Chain A
Amino acid sequence: MTARIGVVLFPGSNCEHDAVEAVEKLGGQAEILWHGDRSASGVDAIILPGGFAHGDYLRPGAIARFSPIMTAVEAFARDGGPVVGICNGFQVLTEAHLLPGALQKNRGLTFLCQTVEIEVASDQSVLTSGISPGTRLRVPINHFEGNYTCDQRTLDELVGEGRVVLRYVDNPNGSVGDIAGISNPAGNVVGLMPHPERAVDPLLGSEDGAVLLRALLSVAEAVVVPADAGTTTANS
């Protein structure tokens, strides 16, 4: 069955159509989920796209975390549904405590917009399932606050449990442990700073992002999420 991917639109998101376009190009079915809705019911996976949700006021992701849809996203994630946060979406996931750590300003205080090389560090996630660790991919980054940080204990856990999903080959932003992407313990929630949705066509300079998104689509097709997952009631 064709995987249905929900792409959350926050006020200030700006990569939602890139994500929809990429999913559809790869054979999935994509739909926009409005941040003010309380339900994500019916989708097989959720993407939190890049951009500047709620203007990035206070901190990137700090206000988006309180958008009504996030209660549904949290419920969906808890039920094992695949959730991928890209760039600003990664920041939202850390602020929502669905992933540990935080993303601070890049080392060198520079906004980075370039294609970088990343290496798959674990295949135990919905975004890297079936991709051999060590595989190198060229994917663009586009961020000011992408410098991943966490305390030593969290870092030890992430490394020890194989939850560092993607690493930079040549660290562009100062991220601890060269981390470009991490997952939760179950591997169904992934956050990454690089933009795979912007690397799905030779015209975009690289097709390597498709490798990651195809993995997500296959997982989404296979995963059976309870029909009411991501549905919240007024009381919850």
Chain B
Amino acid sequence: MTRFEALVEVTLRPGIADPQGATIEKALAALGFDRISNVRAGKAFRLHVEAANEDEARKRVADLCQRFLTNPVIEDAAISLEPAAPADR
């Protein structure tokens, strides 16, 4: 068994209005940040998962995203995985 650290980024699906991202983007100009666009707001989760290999770990996290961490009607998840740092094991 290997312990992986997963980063799950949840964002609204394309086509779903993202009023939070749009409001942040509008505020950027007022702060003098130009040439910044396509702001999307979301949320992120970090978690550890034990699995035989990376494929299995990814499958389990994807299932978790599908059933709990996202609402698939409006949200997508991007999963990145890496072996957990030894200090965290």
Which of B15-23, B29-37, B46-54, B77-85 faces chain A?
Answer: B15-23
Q: Using a Cβ–Cβ cut-off of 8 Å, how many residues does chain B contribute to the interface with A?
A: 11
* Among listed A27-35, A38-46, A75-83, A97-105, interface-contacting one: A97-105
Distance A150 CA – B73 CA, assembled complex (angstroms): 7
Instruction: Assess whether A107 is in contact with B71, with CB atoms less than 8 Å apart.
Output: no
Q: Which residue of B lies closest to A104 (CB)?
A: B74
Contact of B20 among A59, A102, A105, A174 (CB under 8 A): A105
Whether B71 and A174, one on each chain, are in contact in the complex, defined by CB atoms closer than 8 angstroms, is: no
- Is B74 in contact with A109, judged by CB distance below 8 angstroms? no
8 Å CB contact of B68 from A62, A105, A106, A108: A62
Q: Are A104 and B20 in contact (CB under 8 A)?
A: no
Query: Which 5 A-B residue pairs are closest in the complex by CB-CB distance?
Result: A102-B73, A109-B19, A102-B74, A102-B71, A104-B74
Q: Which residue from B19, B23, B71 sits with its C-beta under 8 Å from A59?
A: B71
Residues of B within 8 A of A100 (CB): 73
> Which residues of chain A (68-94) have a CB below 8 Å from chain B?
94
**CB <8 Å contact, B73 and A108:** no
| B interface secondary structure, majority | mixed
Q: Which of B1-24 contact A (CB under 8 A)?
A: 12, 16-17, 19-20, 23
- B62 contacts chain A at the CB level, 8 A cutoff: no
Q: Which residues of A contact B (CB under 8 A)?
A: 58-59, 62, 94-95, 100-102, 104-109, 147, 149-151, 174
Q: How far is the CA of A105 from the CA of B20 in the complex (A)?
A: 9
Report whether A151 and B71 are in contact in the complex, using a CB–CB cutoff of 8 Å. Answer: no
Which residues of B does A touch, CB under 8 Å? 12, 16-17, 19-20, 23, 68-69, 71, 73-74
**Residue with the highest number of chain B CB atoms closer than 10 Å, among A100, A102, A107, A174:** A102
Q: Name 13 interchain pairs, CB-CB below 8 A, sorted by A.
A: A58-B68, A58-B69, A95-B71, A100-B73, A102-B73, A104-B16, A104-B17, A107-B19, A109-B19, A149-B73, A150-B73, A151-B73, A174-B17
Closest to A154 in B: B73
Nearest residue in A to B12 (C-beta to C-beta)? A104
A97–B76 Cα distance when bound, in Å, is 18
Inter-chain CA distance A59–B20, complex, in Å, is: 15
Q: Are A149 and B74 within 8 A (Cβ)?
A: yes
- Whether A105 contacts B71 by the Cβ 8 Å rule is no
CB distance from A172 to the nearest CB of B (A): 14
Residues of A within 8 Å of B23, CB to CB, are 109
Complex: how many Å from CA A62 to CA B69?
8
